[in-house]
Amino acid sequence: MKSNYKKSMRSAWAKDVSDSSKTVKRLWEMSTLLALHREFGFGERRLKRFANTLNDIYEEFMQKSAVTDKYDKKRRELSNIDAAIIQVLKELRRDGIDHRDILGNTEELVMIDEDGTRRNLDDIVDNIERWEKLGE
């Protein structure tokens, strides 16, 4: 009998990471619901509307992220994720919202190219906005 223990271990590790990611995502969603309820008095109906909209946005983001390749759960790849993040940033900024002003600057949205080059996506959007202003 042939056994590929390395593949089996990688598969178990990938499942653990996936389960952990889902748990963290759910915790953040629950914390968001609690904040909306406490601060703004959102009741069950409004929280359901919010959750449905948030799920629609997640789905839209995942579709845009996987435009060039299908999402590979084992390799955790979304080939167009940088463009999808830039679209989210631009949509927020169109309405005068900069996530850094609300959430702070301690976390950066960074993409790392295959050669190891780090690119801050907020810096890219800042540059896009400057170029757009010059073109007006």
Give pLDDT tens digits for 49-104: 999 999 999 999 988 887 765 555 555 555 788 889 999 999 999 999 999 999 99
- Taking CB atoms within 8 Å and a gap of at least 24, the contacts of 79-84 are 81/111, 82/111, 82/119, 82/121
**Residues in a beta bridge with 110:** 120
Check whether 3 has a pLDDT greater than 80.
no
104-128 pLDDT per residue, tens: 988 899 988 878 889 999 999 999 9
Backbone φ and ψ for 75, nearest 5 degrees, come out as -95, -10
Percent of the chain with pLDDT over 70: 78
Name 43's Cβ contacts closer than 8 Å, sequence gap at least 6. 37
Please tell me the pTM assigned to this model: 0.69
